[in-house]
Amino acid sequence: MANLKQLSHREPKLTGGHRLCPGCGEPIAVRQVLMSTEDPVLVTNATGCLEVSTTIFPYSAWNIPWLHIAFENAAAAASGVEAMYQSLKKQGKIDPDANYRFVAFGGDGGTYDIGLQALSGAVERNHDFLYVCLNNEAYMNTGVQRSSATLKGAHTTTSPAGEVIPGKTQNRKDLTEIMVAHDIPYVAQTIPGRWNDITRKAEKAFSIEGPKFMNVLTPCPLGWGHEGGLTPEISQLAADTCIWPLYEVEYGEYKINYKPKEKKPIEAFLEPQARFRHLFRSDEGAEVRKAVQEWVDWKWETLLKKAGE
Q: Are strands 130-135 and 101-107 parallel, antiparallel or unpaired?
A: parallel
pLDDT at residue 37 in the model: 96
Find, among 60, 75, 156, the residue nearest to 110 by Cα. 75
Verdict on whether the full-model pTM lies above 0.95: yes
pLDDT at residue 238 in the model: 98
pLDDT at residue 306 in the model: 98
115-135 tens-digit pLDDT = 999 999 999 999 999 999 999
Q: Which residue stretches of the chain have pLDDT < 50?
A: none
Tell me how far apart the alpha carbons of residues 119 and 97 are, in angstroms, rounded to a whole number: 28
pLDDT at residue 97 in the model: 84
The values of phi and psi at residue 113, to 5°, are -110, -85
pLDDT at residue 2 in the model: 86
The total of other beta-carbon atoms located within 10 Å of residue 275's CB is 25
pLDDT at residue 203 in the model: 98
Strands (E), the chain: 41-46, 66-69, 101-107, 130-135, 186-190, 212-217, 247-250, 253-256
pLDDT at residue 275 in the model: 98
Domains of the chain: 4-306 (3.40.50.970)
pLDDT at residue 96 in the model: 83
Q: Identify whether the C-beta of residue 133 lies closer than 8 Å to the C-beta of residue 190.
A: no
